[in-house]
Amino acid sequence: MFRRPLLLAGVVSLSVFSGLALAQSMSSTSAEKAMRYSERPDVKKFIADVSRRRGLDSEWMAEVLDQATYQPKIERLMTPKKFKPGTRDSRRDWEKYRAIFLGRDRLNLGARFWKENRATLERAKKEFGVDPAVIVGIIGVETRYGENTGSWKVLDSLVTLSFDYKRRADFFKKELEEYLVFINNNQFKPREILGSYAGAVGLPQFMPSSIKRFGVDFDGDGKIDINNSAADTIGSIANYLSKHGWIEGAPMVMQADISEENAKRFGGGTTAKYRWQTLQNNGVKPAAGVKAEPSDLPVFIVDFPFYPAGSNDSKKLYRVGTKNFTSVLRYNSSYFYAGAVAELGTAIAALVGETGLIDGTPILPSKYDIELDPTGKGLKPDQIQVKVTPVS
Q: Which residues are catalytic?
A: 142
Which stretches does DSSP call E strand in 217-283?
253-254, 256-257, 274-275
CB of 17 closer than 8 Å to CB of 79: yes
20-46 as b/e: b if 16+ CB within 10 A = eeebeebbbeeebeeeebbebeebeeb
Q: Are 178 and 208 in contact (CB under 8 A)?
A: yes
Task: In whole angstroms, give the CA distance from residue 338 to residue 3.
Answer: 11
Closest CA to 75 of 37, 148, 12, 26: 26
d(CA 37, CA 68): 8
Amino acid at 80: P
Asked if 386 and 108 count as a contact pair (C-beta separation under 8 A), the reply is yes
Residues 6+ apart with CB under 8 A from 392: none
Cα-based angle 188, 189, 195 (whole degrees, multiple of 5): 85
Q: Which parts of the chain are beta strand (E)?
A: 2-3, 7-8, 152-153, 194-195, 253-254, 256-257, 274-275, 285-286, 298-306, 315-322, 358-359, 368-371, 387-390
